[in-house]
Amino acid sequence: MSRVAVVTDTTAYLPGDVVRAHQIHLVSLYVNFGGERTVREADITDYDRFYSELRDAASLPTTSQPAVGDFLAVYEPLLEQGLDVLSIHISAGLSGTCDAARQAVETLERSGQSGRVRVLDSATGAGGIGLLALGAAKAAREGGDLDAVESAAREVRKALKIWFAIDTLEYLRRGGRIGAASAWIGSTLKIKPILTVESEMTPVERVRTSARMFDRMVEYARERHADGADGWVVQHIQSPDIANKLADACRDIYGSEPVWISEVGPVLGVHTGPGLLGVGGVPRTLVE
């Protein structure tokens, strides 16, 4: 019987059926629309409409981490059930989510709940976070205590490699989240950057055409297969046909189905824009 609950945030973009099957609990980040309204990412379900508005926006929406109270609203019922909690979140280099989670833990500790909730900075984003959460959930199902569940998540992080090809640098530039890829701004925005997340957005390479971008994603999938990382995921923004094409290529490479395929939502999408394509993975035995 599981003694540990796994919490992550909405920027993992885990499909609902995966969240339910692995009994993962979610805390939502927020999207702020020009100071006029603030909406929980979890409540934005029409991605087509959101990205259509984003393309036409004179100024980009901003994003923000969950409030301390949002974390407490998830943690407290789990603690009341007698469960410890491992809370795994988007890289602290990209968001203040981990800080807010730790503030919630401090609040709990002042009320006598010391040591029962741990916060783990995933040092990655999107599908990478989700894979850590699945690894932790697997250890929890197998009866691991909080130490064992955290150790399992850290093993997934060590094994993880994930790449994101972005249609343009423009959204990262406008949103100020370009990180180490800022060196590419001086040359041209007319490139297709391939990035990973190692605490911050980290440049890997740049290509000039969508066809080459796709080919490189397939080559990265082959690298993961060669390394024995057969638990693969594909993610995209507003590119379902290309994502399905990449998934078909991955099925040929791995001879297996994905851990999941999903569309990346508004909080990360504000910063990357439509056209993102992601692939990566870990050894399947770590997450299933």
* Whether the domain at 4-51+59-158 and the domain at 161-286 fall into the same CATH topology: no
3-state secondary structure of 253: helix
- Given this model, what pLDDT does residue 17 score? 97
> Computed from CA positions of residues 239, 245, 246, 247, in that sequence, does the dihedral angle turn out positive or negative?
positive
| Other Cβ atoms within 10 Å of 215 Cβ, number | 13
The tokens for 73 are 């609203």
| Other Cβ atoms within 10 Å of 134 Cβ, number | 29
- Read off the DSSP letter of residue 188: -
Highest CATH level, class, for 4-51+59-158: alpha beta
Q: Which of 116, 105, 222, 92 is nearest to 163 (CA)?
A: 222
Highest CATH level, class, for 161-286: alpha beta
- Whole-structure pTM value: 0.93
Residue in the structure block whose two tokens are 């809370």 = 87
Going residue by residue through the chain, which has 288 residues, state the pLDDT in tens, using 9 for 90 and above.
679 999 999 999 999 999 999 999 999 999 998 777 899 999 999 999 999 989 888 888 999 999 999 999 999 999 999 999 999 999 998 899 999 999 999 999 988 878 899 999 999 999 999 999 999 999 999 999 999 999 999 999 999 999 999 988 777 776 555 554 555 554 555 788 898 888 777 888 888 889 999 999 999 999 999 999 999 999 999 999 999 999 999 999 999 999 999 999 999 999 889 999 999 999 999 999
What's the CA gap between 240 and 271, in Å, rounded? 19
Domain ranges of the chain: 4-51+59-158, 161-286
Q: Which of 128, 125, 124, 118 is nearest to 150 (CA)?
A: 118
- Given this model, what pLDDT does residue 192 score? 85
Greatest Cα pair distance in the chain: 56
- Given this model, what pLDDT does residue 115 score? 87
- Given this model, what pLDDT does residue 132 score? 98
Cα dist from 238 to 51, 124, 143, 277, whole Å? 8, 22, 39, 9
Contact 222, 240 (CB under 8 A): no
What's the CA gap between 19 and 56, in Å, rounded? 32
- Given this model, what pLDDT does residue 15 score? 97
Bridge partners, residue 203, by sequence: 195
**Chain centroid, CA 168 distance in Å:** 20
The pairing of beta strand 231-236 with beta strand 200-207: unpaired
